[in-house]
A and B are shown apart, each in its own frame.
Chain A
Amino acid sequence: MEKYRMDPSKGMEFGLYTLGDHIPDPHTGERISAEQRIHEIIELAQLAEQAGIDFFSVGESHQEYFTTQAHSVVLAAIAQATEKIKIASSSTIISTSDPVRVFEDFATIDLISKGRAEIIAGRASRVGLFDLLGYNVRDYEELFEEKFELLLKIAQEEVVNWSGQFRAPLKNAAVIPRPKNGSMPIWRAVGGPPASAIKAGYAGVPMFIATLGGPATSFKYSIDAYREAAKRSGFDPSELPISTAGFFYAAETTQQAQKEIYPHVNQGMQLINGRGYPKQQFAQGADTKDVMNVGSPQQIIEKILYQYEQFGHQRYIAQMDFGGVPFDKLKKNIELIGTEILPAIKKYTAKN
């Protein structure tokens, strides 16, 4: 765990993540400028740090309704604006990027932030960026596997010799700068189903798993499969951190939380995936056994602890800004996390 800068004895880590979506506020129909959105993301990271939140990450999406395509640039600004919070991508689409450039960028962010940067590499849930960046979507799987492997190799070896299908070969290539302490955590981002989780397990890399909604036990299959695959490949699963990532929104009561956030989530899903979030499923999301962390602080604490009991994961990251949530609501949420949720979670998950 140390290799990944995790210390489970201090309790489960709690983080925030944003996809950098840029969506009108459904209550007003107004959309803030891209400039304001990016500044608010940077400020959100600062507020998160002040509230004692462990981690903050920004994702890349190259399509309408997003604004952090250059997520590593935004992360560099966050690195400069903060002092102790861990920062990462959520995720970096390694399939359509050059692993050398990605490593250079994030090693630099690690130096700017004095050893706080991590990479979470994903495959993209939509495929528009393949056209935009000049890749063939038919290579979806292989592009990711090859480039992710190369990224790991660059991270592990100071001088790289490599050849593959999708990039010019590297001959005695020294990819610099190196991260502050010689290495930085590199995670594999996976969706819900076990197939990708198993691949992460076989490779023995830490896993970020998206858990947007549905019973926690459904995601446990993927987590168990990940650990089993890691074991079969000769890795010790207890040395491999797991993080979950999903919707989050807190308000005084669960009812109030649902009322405030539902229009955002529903509209966001409608604009980005072409289908809203069905109300019936969202209503079920309030149940303690559902992974969606929307509710009163007390309900959210119970949910996160239940998930912790099921998954035994080391970090949970919350997405609370999806769908044009106004900044004052985000600030209120950070306050509830800092004063109520975070202390309770640390108290119950830290080893005394």
Chain B
Amino acid sequence: MKIVGISGSIVGSKTRTAMDYTVKVIKEKYPDIEATLIDLAEYDIQFSDGRNYLEYEGDTGYVTKMIMEADALIIGTPVFQAAIPATLKNIFDLLPEKAFLDKVVSMLVTAGSSKHYLMVDQQLKPILSYMKAQLVQTYVFIEEKDFYRKEIINDDVLFRIDRLVEDTVLLTETYTEIRKAKEAEYGF
């Protein structure tokens, strides 16, 4: 199983801190899973110009191909101007319409306060559903006060991330199994 974690912003450290912990949990608990973190801050990614994702070169091509080859994605995002950052939206724009068909996607959000708690339900989930993702419905919402100098200091948040990882793996395993059984019935 391949899981790709995305840190969806090129500014700040909270999302990266939380995603580092998330990927660490996957690697510790599921050594067989190939887990990779893509921090958008480390790549030079162009804006989508509508071409097929295979036709992008350099960092853009690398990131889109990694995402398309994943069985599951854990998307980490901050809240900017009451929405997901443009850098993350651009990733979605670079991918095909039904890019997340047969993929499990779970979400982790960081924010200054709880003001925009519903941003995920109102904005992120509709995009992912449109792109045909199998969503892990429960997401982890982490506030400024849960961090101190690039570490998560709230045990409840750590527990919630542990559960998010477990749910992501569980849903990916079960969904893959169910889908394979269904496809076997087609007989071709």
Contact = CB atoms under 8 A, between A and B. Distances in A.
A273 B53 CA distance: 8
Interface in A259-307: 259, 262, 273-275, 278-280, 282-283
A259 B188 contact: yes
Contacts of B101: 275, 278
Given A137-B49, A279-B183, A274 B188 contact: no
A258 B187 CA distance: 8
A3 interface: no
Interface string B108-146: 000000000000000000000000000000000000000
A10 interface: no
B51 A274 contact: no
A245 to B, nearest CB: 20
A342 to B, nearest CB: 25
A259 B101 CA distance: 22
Main secondary structure of the interface of B (DSSP, over half): loop
B54 A274 contact: yes
Contacts of B49: 137-138
B100 to A, nearest CB: 11
A127 B55 contact: yes
A310 interface: no
Contact of A258 (B54, B182, B186): B186
A146 B102 CA distance: 41
B54 A283 contact: no
Contact of B55 (A126, A275, A280, A282): A126
Contact of A275 (B96, B183, B187): B96
A255 interface: yes
A169 interface: no
Q: Chain B: interface residue count, which band?
A: 10 to 19
Given A137-B49, A278-B102, A273 B54 contact: yes
Main secondary structure of the interface of A (DSSP, over half): helix
A295 B163 CA distance: 46
B54 A255 contact: no
Given A278-B102, A279-B183, A262 B188 contact: yes
Contacts of A282: 186, 188
A234 interface: no
Contacts of B96: 273-275
Contacts of A126: 51-52, 55
Nearest to B65: A274
A343 interface: no
B187 A259 contact: yes
Interface residues of A, number: 17
B186 A274 contact: no
Contacts of A259: 187-188
Given A126-B51, A126-B55, A137-B51, A274 B187 contact: no
- Most B CB atoms within 10 A — which of A126, A128, A275? A275
A269 to B, nearest CB: 11
Nearest to B53: A274
Contacts of B65: 274
B80 to A, nearest CB: 28
- Most A CB atoms within 10 A — which of B49, B52, B183? B52
A279 B68 contact: no
Contacts of B27: none
A127 B52 CA distance: 8
B178 to A, nearest CB: 12
Contact of B188 (A128, A137, A255, A275): A255
Interface string B135-169: 00000000000000000000000000000000000
B113 to A, nearest CB: 39
B54 A127 contact: no
B144 to A, nearest CB: 39
Interface in A98-153: 126-128, 137-138
Interface of A: 126-128, 137-138, 255, 258-259, 262, 273-275, 278-280, 282-283
Given A137-B51, A274-B65, A275-B96, 9 more contacts: A128-B55, A137-B49, A262-B188, A273-B54, A273-B96, A275-B98, A278-B101, A279-B186, A282-B188
Which A-B residue pairs are the 5 nearest by beta carbons?
Answer: A258-B188, A259-B188, A274-B54, A279-B183, A283-B186
